[in-house]
Amino acid sequence: MAQQWDNQNPEFNVKKLIPILIGVVSLILVITFWNKITVNLKAGQAGVMFKQFSGGVDKETIYGEGFHFIAPWNEMVAYDVTQQEIAEVLNVLSSNGLEIKVDVSIWFRPDIPNLGYLHSEIRENYVKKVVIPAIRSAARMVVGRYAPEEIYSSKREAITQEIDEETKLICKDKYVTVERILIRSIELPPTIKTAIETKLKQEQETLEYEFRLAKASKEAERQILEAEGKAKANEIISKSLTDKILKEKGIEATLKLATSPNSKVVVIGGGDEGLPIILGNN
């Protein structure tokens, strides 16, 4: 009876099949285009959307980490937005034309709020297009201001700071954030290095010799002042000592010796100027 009823109502059967067919087709499409309609941005990544039929790169919307659905005709481009580092060994010229080898590192990351502009104007290979040329240009510009002996000795910190400032200035309008520049080593030609070290050693020896001379001069001045002070003191004492004072001091000394437990013989009036003579055991 049910079989006969279904045959008599074909429209009813079609209506029942349409949702099933739509579900099956949708499932097939989802499976087929799954990789086209989903994007998973990993930790440390940000995404920029390229909209095929609505204006190209979306410069205003930045997609963060996690799972995203997109239209199958659009494209999500992922960028590493963590801190990155590249090292470059550069051959640059000093102010007097000598070739110097500088090993430099740069820490950088894309400017996340402007990631859409970075993708639109420079694309994914911005490291080769922007970062490396910037550090090379800055290093050549800055090192070229200094003589080899300045680079080798006292100006290294200043050179690092200037390269950092120049690199940041170049990258500022290229949507790249430079966080720090590090100079890991500076290598001069062997002959120049030896000459600079010899010169620095001689300068150090000269400074040391001048220090010793200054120290000796101050010591001589001190001794002169001390001698002059003693001479003046003796002169004052000599003028103040009279015969009466000397006799009085002699008597005081005699009295102290006479009360001493050591055996002795005191002869009164036996010395010069009438002072006592003190004879010991010997």
- The secondary structure element, H or E, covering residue 57 is strand 56-63
Angle at CA 272, nearest 5°, toward 268 and 274? Answer: 40
Q: Which residues of the chain have pLDDT under 70?
A: 1-16, 24-35, 153-154, 193, 195-197, 200, 237-251, 253-255, 257-258, 260-282
Report the distance separating Cα 46 and Cα 77, nearest Å: 8
pLDDT at 156: 81
Of 108, 123, 121, give the one whose Cα is nearest residue 176: 108
Report the distance separating Cα 279 and Cα 282, nearest Å: 8
Q: DSSP per residue over 124-184, as a string?
A: TTHIIIIIHHHHHHHHHHHHTTS-HHHHHTT-HHHHHHHHHHHHHHHHGGGTEEEEEEEEE
Alpha-carbon distances, residue 36 vs 14, 71, 73, 257 (angstroms) = 32, 8, 8, 120
Of 229, 230, 148, give the one whose Cα is nearest residue 188: 148
pLDDT at 265: 54
**How far is C-alpha 273 from the geometric centre of its chain's CA atoms?**
84
Report the distance separating Cα 247 and Cα 275, nearest Å: 7
pLDDT at 115: 95
Report the predicted TM-score, pTM, of the whole model to 2 decimal places. Answer: 0.60
pLDDT at 12: 54
Report the distance separating Cα 99 and Cα 190, nearest Å: 11
Q: What is the pLDDT of residues 25-36, one digit of tens each?
A: 666 666 666 567
pLDDT at 5: 46
Report the distance separating Cα 34 and Cα 23, nearest Å: 16
pLDDT at 107: 96
pLDDT at 179: 94
